[in-house]
Structure 1
Amino acid sequence: MGSAALHIARTGLDAQDMRMRVISNNLANVNTTGYKRDRAAFETLAYQTVTAPGAPSTSETRYATGLNLGTGVRIQGTARIDTQGTLAQTGNSLDLALDGEGYFQVQLPGAQLGYTRAGNFSRSAQGLLVTAEGYQVQPGITIPEGTTSITIGTDGTVSAVIPGQTEPSQVGQIQVATFPNAAGLLSIGDNYLTESAASGAVLLGIAGQEGRGNIRQGALEGSNVNVVEELVDMIETQRAYEVNSKMITATDEMLKYVNQNI
């Protein structure tokens, strides 16, 4: 019985340690553009049924509740909280923010497509609209050489004023990606997500249509991490970790007492 209690307390320590890791990652990314906070979800481990509810207690009665003993806890998974972050004006014409649902689509190395909320784009030497790492925004948009000003509409229409012309010319259309289950996207780091079996296939469309967010030029979306909330969660996790640690100490003392006195 004592060894079982030690095992259960150990699972509690492991689970709280992993939750603290999730909170630490949230706080580390408090200033990361477009970052969405994660939340750890717990689940119970298998139960041992000593007496099943409804089993006969006598020839005429049955147990009303039974006796079930839990074997601990574990982290079931992490859920990404996709609430909107604060939009901050930057004044940079190639900084874009999504005001609402959706992701920007970019071409990652190895012909893989990535999706991000971070719209801090720039113009490459070839005139392509690219991310800070040089990954091309998809569908590809080329900004003509000598462009004096760029305007990006809320629907993603990209217009450029070229020398010798008085009217802006449309040079491309930024599309917004959505998914049947955006929570199922796989985080790979560097602010990028990739499609998975759980997310479903990507659905590309025009910003502002079919539930997609509008594009805001000259702005960036901040992280949705609430520092105060994360600190409260951190304290709660620390206390839970201490309680599980004390459970191990108490169980060890009980076993020591049994060994020395019985």
Structure 2
Amino acid sequence: MQGFLESASAILAQSERRVETAAQNVSNVATPGYKRKVDFAELVQGSTTLSSFADLKAGKEVETGSMTDLAITGDGFFAVKSGDETLYTRHGQLRRDGEGRLVTEAGMALQGADGGDIAIGEGAFEIGSDGTVLQNGSPVARIAITGFADLAMLDDAGGGLLRAAAGASGEPASGTIRQGAYEASNVSTGDEMVTIMESLRRAESAQRLTSPRPACSRRSGRWTSSPTISPISTRPPSSGRRCASRSWCRRHRPRAARPGRRRRRG
């Protein structure tokens, strides 16, 4: 019985976790470059736990015509600087700050192939497919497109950002840059709503398994709560004359039908 209760509690916890993850994905459906989180079950020391990873499938490219919006076609990530830490993202909706640097909405500076910040002076500029930044016809910088041989070494850092695990080293990727567009999130609202509904159904089933079922008292004939665990629904029958076990109790046993008298036709 104890193992039964533990299994039902685990189902409730996993369902709650899946609902939270799906809700987080839906809340970031409009975040450029966001990668949806996916939960999966794994066996750890004899018990099943949920872990998550980022689905790195590319999202749709949105055309904007803005000079500071960039999208990567193919493999690779933009490298951005957050303090002393380098993070990676497909978020290419950038802006030019007061120092002329290309930065994300959070102020993280886009990194160049030489490891420094991408700084552009005032005026128009063009970015080639290989990441070369041209201003007044002259190259001024080159944007880094970083790839990883093992994408499992990238951990979700939130907000469409990825963090390389210890020991993981990036290398130049084969992707190309498209100016005037950015990559949208790869979240499908319909798929996430299906996940939420399925998780709620599993949680409801687990809740029924751990809920006490009513039993019929032989003395009073009233419905009372029984500590017995049963997968049967806790709702009493509509007639109110049968126990939750669907067998007739002594008090509510049906009376024998009396034989009716037939009238003779005159």
Runs of 4 or more above 4 Å deviation: 44-47
- Aligned ranges for residues 66-77 of structure 1 at < 5 Å? 73-75=48-50, 77=51
Give the letter for the 2:79 counterpart.
Answer: Q
Of Structure 1 and Structure 2, the greater helix share is in 1
Cross-structure match for 1:214: 176
Q: State the number of aligned residues.
A: 215
**Would you say the 8 A contact 1:124–1:130 is kept in 2?**
yes
Identity %: 31
- Report if aligned partners of 2:67, 2:126 keep a CA contact under 8 Å in 1: yes
Q: How does 1:244-255 map to 2 (within 5 A)?
A: 244-249=206-211, 253-254=227-228
Which of 154, 159, 183 lines up with 2:134 in the alignment?
159
Matched, 1:241 2:216: no
Q: Does 1:142 align with 2:119?
A: yes
**Contact 1:14–1:74, Cα closer than 8 Å, also in 2:** no
**2:54 equivalent to 1:80:** yes
8 Å contact kept, 2:54–2:156: no
The CA deviation string for residues 222-253 of structure 1, in whole angstroms up to 9 with x for no partner, is 11111111111111111111111111126874
Cα deviation, 1:172-209, whole Å, max 9, x if unaligned, reads 111111112223312222332211137x2122x2xxxx
Shift of 1:100: 1.7
Aligned to 1:63: none
Residues 80 and 183 in structure 1, CA contact (< 8 A), matched pair in contact too: no
TM-score if structure 1 supplies the norm length?
0.75
Separation in structure 1 between the aligned mates of residue 197 and residue 139 of structure 2, nearest angstrom: 53
1:201 paired residue among 139, 153, 169:
169
Indicate the structure (1 or 2) with the bigger Cα radius of gyration: 2
Q: How does 1:77-116 map to 2 (within 5 A)?
A: 77-109=51-83, 111-116=84-89
Q: Is the 8 A contact 2:18 2:195 kept in 1?
A: no
Per-residue deviation, residues 42-78 of structure 1 (Å, max 9, x unmatched): 135666xxxxxxxxxxxxxxxxxxxxxxxx6321x11
Residue 7 to residue 171, structure 1, CA distance change in 2 (3 Å): same
Gaps in structure 1 of 5+ consecutive residues: 48-71, 162-167, 258-262
Distance 1:155 1:29 in 2: 29
Residue of structure 2 aligned with 1:180, choices 149, 157, 167: 149
Separation (CA, whole Å) in 2 of partners of 1:103 and 1:137: 11
Q: What's the RMSD between the two structures over aligned residues?
A: 2.2
SS state at 1:254 partner: strand
The equivalent of 2:188 in structure 1 is 226
Check the 8 A contact 1:12/1:74 in 2, yes or no: no
CA contact (8 A) 2:61 2:184 kept: yes
Unpaired segments ≥5 residues, structure 2:
214-225, 231-243, 245-266
- List aligned pairs for 1:15-26, cutoff 5 A: 15-26=14-25
Aligned to 1:142, the other structure's residue is in SS state coil
Residues 18-37 of structure 1 correspond to what in structure 2 (within 5 A)?
18-37=17-36
Instruction: Report the equivalent of 1:57.
Output: none
TM-score computed with the length of structure 2 as normaliser: 0.74
